[in-house]
Amino acid sequence: MSQAPRQGEQPPEGRGPADERRGAAALLETYHRLAPVTVPLYALLLALLVGAGVMLIAGANPFEAYGALFAGAFGNPERLVRTLVRSTPYVVAGIAVALAYRAGLFNIGVEGQLLIGGLTGVWVGTMSALAGTPAVLYVPLVLLAGALGGALWAGIPGVLKARTGAHEVIVTIMLNAIALRMVDWVVTSREPKILLDPDASTPRTPDIVPAGQLPDLVPGTAIPVGLLLAVAIAAGAWYLVSRSTLGFQIRTVGTNPSAARYAGMSVPRIIIVSMLISGAVAGIGGIIAVNAGDSAHLTPGLLRNVGFDGIAIALIARGNPLAVIPAALLWGSLLSGAPLMQVQADLSIDLVRVVQASVILFVAGDMIVRTLFRIRPERGAGGSPTPAATGWGAQT
């Protein structure tokens, strides 16, 4: 973190008072302008302090514990790869949330869209009719199936929001619950058998056939191509949002739907399109998650909380698709480093969940961080999209 200038600091020698005042003012201005970067970093710092407090209460040494956490995430190449693999689904889930967020939509349903995308992908990836399809065709087909599944599941709240004003948060919460039960049924039902692998010891689907699985990026390194895919999605999402005319419409609808309508943009259409894109990205995320690790099958609990973590990550990144990448890496490294912390410092891995929740609290409550670190509030009407909380309930 860069050294932050403060009012009242000693002026450097050999400069006149006017120069010094101007210099200090410029530094201060820089300090304020760096807020988009520094605020999340300060928030992380505060969250780590909260975590340290919990560690002290639990009788552990915070330095030791955080050391183990860091070593667990980045200690050797193998762990680093594991951290990257672990972070990949979070990148994609975070982008899915961020895209909808820019359109002023709070897509809590990424959780369900990941599941449905994973399900449709696995369904296509295990279809006997497609056996023998070459990988060049099969992998894109599986991804497409996942994207369609996710888009379908996100399209429902999109259409309902656009046509009836039903708030997407509640509809997606409901659809998450439904998706969880549907997937549970499809994956565990024996009579009729739908996607259950009858030979497995626990309820799960069969593996996607090898030709349909995402290959390794570099053969033999265990780095899946999903990582590259996730970065490409992030770059594409950034270009879409900040450079394209569709992105201009999405951002306008997200910040001021009324002005968008007056300017001739079709707000319902943009809402639906944004949800479809968001859901398609989530669906691909489902496939990436299914392919993570050595296996390529879906279990009822595989994607638990990935979507909710995506919300947290998108919030930390403030809806910026590129900033989602470091935020997701933070998330993935906390989770992949936790087991070593558990062994070495005798702390439950769930401690990192407390840290994560604190990160969101401090990032969302950036007034707290700004007050503590004396960063001035955002000027003007603020650049962030419409608060998610507008339009609660069914209002048009």
Site string for other proteins, 7-46 (x = CB under 8 A): ----------------------------------------
Q: Tell me if 364 contacts other proteins by CB under 8 A.
A: yes
CB of 382 to other proteins, least distance (A): 6
- Specify whether the CB–CB gap between 396 and 164 falls below 8 A: yes
Of 2 and 371, the one with the shorter C-beta distance to other proteins is 371
Q: Tell me if 47 contacts other proteins by CB under 8 A.
A: no
CB of 258 to other proteins, least distance (A): 5
- Cα–Cα distance for residue pair 247/233, rounded to 1 Å: 15
- Cα–Cα distance for residue pair 164/182, rounded to 1 Å: 25
* Among the listed residues 81, 225, 231, 354, the single contact to other proteins using CB under 8 A: 354
Size of the site for other proteins (CB under 8 A): 82
One-letter amino acid identity for 149?
G
Query: Cα 198 to the chain's mean position, in Å?
Result: 34
CB of 355 to other proteins, least distance (A): 8
According to DSSP, the residues that pair with 216 across neighbouring strands are 224
* Among the listed residues 45, 52, 54, 231, the single contact to other proteins using CB under 8 A: 54
Residue 123, φ and ψ in degrees, nearest 5: -60, -50
Residues 300-339 that bind other proteins (CB under 8 A): 305, 308, 311-312, 315
DSSP 216: B
Per residue, the 3-state secondary structure of 247-304, as one string, reads: HHHHHHHHHCHHHHHHCCCCHHHHHHHHHHHHHHHHHHHHHHHHHCCCCCCCCCCCCC
- Specify whether the CB–CB gap between 97 and 324 falls below 8 A: no
* Among the listed residues 86, 167, 204, 318, the single contact to other proteins using CB under 8 A: 167
CB of 368 to other proteins, least distance (A): 6
CB of 208 to other proteins, least distance (A): 24
One-letter amino acid identity for 240?
L
* Among the listed residues 171, 298, 325, 340, the single contact to other proteins using CB under 8 A: 171
Stretch that binds other proteins, among 74-82, 195-203, 220-228, 386-394 (CB under 8 A): 386-394
Q: Tell me if 217 contacts other proteins by CB under 8 A.
A: no
Q: Tell me if 243 contacts other proteins by CB under 8 A.
A: yes
Q: Tell me if 53 contacts other proteins by CB under 8 A.
A: no
Block residue for tokens 């296509």: 124
- Cα–Cα distance for residue pair 381/259, rounded to 1 Å: 14
Stretch that binds other proteins, among 75-83, 123-131, 180-188, 230-238 (CB under 8 A): 180-188
* Among the listed residues 256, 279, 298, 324, the single contact to other proteins using CB under 8 A: 256
Give the burial class of 3: count Cβ atoms within 10 A of its Cβ; 0-12 exposed, 13-18 middle, 19 or more buried: exposed
Taking CA atoms, 76 is separated from 71, 72, 79, 80, 341, in Å, by 8, 8, 5, 6, 15
CB of 309 to other proteins, least distance (A): 8
